[in-house]
Amino acid sequence: MKLGPRDLENISSATLEHYASRAQNFFEGTKDHDVSQNIAALLKHIPGNPPFSILDFGCGPGRDLRAFSKMGHIAIGLEGCATFARMARDYSGCEVWNQDFLKLDLPACRFDGIFANASLFHIPKQELPQALNRLHASLRQNGVLFSSNPRGANEEGWRNGRYGTYHDLASWRQFMLDAGFLELDHYYRPANLPFEQQPWLASVWRKIS
């Protein structure tokens, strides 16, 4: 069933309020998560020499934004939750744009890489092509996008106060190919566990058109 404007507004507002109401607890619970595997997966595929211009899409309170900045990269965050955006600016010292994922306004050909860790799954399927097209346009030629999403069987809807879409690899791959990306790599996380204990699908993509 197609989601109307009011449905989309409710999806955004309720999901963002869920995060805002738990912002400090979320920060404390995630600030020490090790996502170095994901950061390395993005950086190793970006052509040229660092420092790179990186967009941390859905940067949350700023953990990974701070990591990119400490590595010497020119990192900018984008976050839908205003509370997280303020926290990320304070924690990372980086510029952070407060934008709804469904109403993106991004500069063209600005970034060498986009790091979308646990963020793109909040976009409803019907809105995903538009969002991916805007991310694609914001990358420089041969730029790289990393994504990590909780995997599933392509179900979509509300879970614990947040709206999400839970793609399998085939579904996610098709969305990315349709948006003009070439697959470079994919893997499941956490590493070194049986597949049934790896709820996260990570993938790396290059802008080719």
Distances (CA, A) of 139 to 31, 83, 133: 27, 27, 10
For residue 117, give the nearest of 70, 154, 75, 83 by alpha carbon. Answer: 75
Which residue type is seen at 30? Answer: T
Question: According to the model, what pLDDT value does residue 209 have?
Answer: 79
Residues 57, 93: Cα–Cα separation, whole Å: 16
Name the percent of the chain lying above pLDDT 90: 99
Q: If 0-12 CB within 10 Å is exposed, 13-18 middle and 19+ buried, where does residue 100 land? A: middle
> Are 96 and 76 contacting, i.e. CB atoms less than 8 angstroms apart?
yes
Question: According to the model, what pLDDT value does residue 139 have?
Answer: 98
Question: According to the model, what pLDDT value does residue 1 have?
Answer: 78
Residues 78, 75: Cα–Cα separation, whole Å: 10
Residues 162, 18: Cα–Cα separation, whole Å: 7
Predicted confidence (pLDDT) per residue in 9-35, tens digit: 999 999 999 999 999 999 999 999 999
Domain ranges in the chain? 5-207
List b or e across 29-64, with b for residues whose CB sees 16 or more CB atoms inside 10 angstroms. eeeeeebeebbebbbebbeeeeebbbbbbbbbbbbb
Residues 81, 4: Cα–Cα separation, whole Å: 22
Asked if the model's pLDDT at residue 3 lies above 90, the reply is: yes
Predicted confidence (pLDDT) per residue in 61-97, tens digit: 999 999 999 999 999 999 999 999 999 999 999 999 9
List b or e across 125-144, with b for residues whose CB sees 16 or more CB atoms inside 10 angstroms. eebbeebbebbbbbbbeebb
Which residue type is seen at 42? Answer: L
In this structure, what token pair is assigned to residue 199?
């709820």
Asked if the model's pLDDT at residue 46 lies above 90, the reply is: yes
Q: Under CATH, which number does the domain 5-207 receive?
A: 3.40.50.150
